[in-house]
Amino acid sequence: MSTKMNKIKKVAIYSRKSRPDETDEVLQRQLAVLLDICSKNNWEYDVFQEVGSSQDINPELNKMLAKLQDFHYDAVVTTEQSRLGRNDVVIAQVKHVLATYGVKLITPTQTLDLATQEGTLYSDMQTLVDKQEYLNTRKRLIRGKRQSAKTGNWVGGRTPVGYKYDSVSKRLVPNEYAPVIERIFRLYLLGKSTTNIAEQFELEGVFTPQGFKWDKARIAVVLANPAYKGTAVYGKTKVSKISRKPSGAPRQFKTTEEEQIIIDDAHQSIVSPEDWERVRLIRESRNSKPPSARIGKVIFTGLIKCSLCGRIQSFQRRKGKELRITSCQTRHYKEDGSYTVCENKGVRLDKFEKLFYFQFEGFVNALKQHLDDIKNYIPIGEVINRADEKVSIEKAIKSKGQEIKRVQKGFQMGGYTDEEFTQAIKEIRNQITQLEQELEGLNNKSQIEEINELEDSVSKLRAILEGNTKMCKSDINALLRKHIDYIEYTRIGDHKAEVEIKVHYKGRETLS
């Protein structure tokens, strides 16, 4: 065992059953041995013990690895190497993480320094030493910071407006801008929106300490910052170890509260914790609406797809202008990093609507015909063979699965922002859920129910076509989605280019 490496201070004990027939007693005895090793060596420890009998899911292992990558531990202590995973691949992965983070593996019989043992990971000794030194320095810094944060010191980086950092006490102290912050909270509690406050400040000539306008984004940042109620939060984000943006910079993730160090009453508050909490509740109720709801839901939300790249088209309303389908924003990257944007252009929604309703009327008529057929020619009570319909829904579910893969691939290639990616995946998953519900419905729907439902659909759709529906936009959207899988949309060329659409109906394609 190398003595050059840093001394072991804190370790993670990992314990799990490696065979299904191992009893809890055996496991506890093994754990006792590991605890004994720790106390003999004066090591601090955290225990990660998988409970339950599942061989495949190891939540504690993942928890341990996450903390390990934040430099919490110098070593992992376990009964034998095989405990680290259910098969050799997992074990190798875990050992690779240990090696990368300079964490040793200790079993009752040996101590392994994986970073040196698996020397092949590094091209020469120099990089290994450099890496170890780098890791040690980083470990000291991060641990020092974390320790400092635990005592309530301000280690959160940028000092929030309204405070100054006092380097003697290491705490935040309100400064001459504190009254502005206090006022932002007060105005918001009085029912003003961030936009209202921004306008009022502009009229009054109130600026940020750097002389910027207090726009609504800056005000929103203030309202969301727990520092103003006296709370210090450390570790709000973490840098991804594997995932990178197209630019090559590592992605940042928001951490969960569990991973953060949160100290209340760390410094003098500018607003009371009660008021801060009230503001939080108001913010949440205002922000919970999806963006589409804020521009007023469009009945075609989620239904229109770019015919060139498959992306769901979004909508936009510029101040005082008509609602539009936006131009497709998908980027196609070339090997040299440059990109072209999808050629599909946007259009005024009313132009699209004219075209759509013209086609959709044919579908509704066919649906009515279908309804009449059922009512007139098939004796009530006879079971219709729905096998075809089931097969087509099952096929649709499968193809949605493929769609998810395509979007994931597109995301890896940089074609989507994080937000768009999440949105797109969510969208597809919703569609899958809906299809699955339909499938289930098919299995237990009686014919009478089907007729009633069809009748209801036909009359509602008629009302929409005639422009006298009483349904709200999101109900119309749901009704359209019940019948339409998606609408393929094409508009290529200059501002005179024509719009082309092709409506893909669900299940009943033969009708139109």
Residues that bind Zn ion (CB under 5 A): 306, 308-309, 328, 330, 342, 344
Residues near 157 by Cβ (< 8 Å), separated by ≥ 6? none
**Residue indicated by tokens 């569609």:** 431
- Buried (b) or exposed (e) across 270-301, using 16+ Cβ within 10 A? bbeeebbeebeeeeeeeeeeeebeeeebbbbb
**Closest distance of CB 342 from Zn ion, Å:** 3
**Closest distance of CB 309 from Zn ion, Å:** 3
Q: Is 465 exposed, middle or buried (0-12, 13-18, 19+ CB in 10 A)?
A: middle
**Closest distance of CB 426 from Zn ion, Å:** 19
Pick between residue 102 and residue 415 the one whose CB is nearest to Zn ion: 415
Pairing verdict, β 304-306 and 484-490: parallel
**Closest distance of CB 343 from Zn ion, Å:** 7
User: Is the distance from CB of 246 to CB of 239 less than 8 angstroms?
Assistant: no
User: Is the distance from CB of 115 to CB of 82 less than 8 angstroms?
Assistant: no
CB atoms within 10 A of CB 329: 18
Pick between residue 270 and residue 306 the one whose CB is nearest to Zn ion: 306
Pairing verdict, β 110-112 and 232-234: unpaired
Pick between residue 222 and residue 342 the one whose CB is nearest to Zn ion: 342
Pick between residue 325 and residue 458 the one whose CB is nearest to Zn ion: 325
Pick between residue 232 and residue 306 the one whose CB is nearest to Zn ion: 306
**Closest distance of CB 395 from Zn ion, Å:** 24
Pick between residue 94 and residue 328 the one whose CB is nearest to Zn ion: 328
**Closest distance of CB 344 from Zn ion, Å:** 4
Q: What is the DSSP string of 210-221?
A: TS-B--HHHHHH
Pick between residue 178 and residue 306 the one whose CB is nearest to Zn ion: 306
Q: Which two structure tokens, joined as six digits, stand for 471? A: 């349904």
Q: Is 215 exposed, middle or buried (0-12, 13-18, 19+ CB in 10 A)?
A: middle
Nearest to 122 by CA among 112, 135, 132, 111: 132
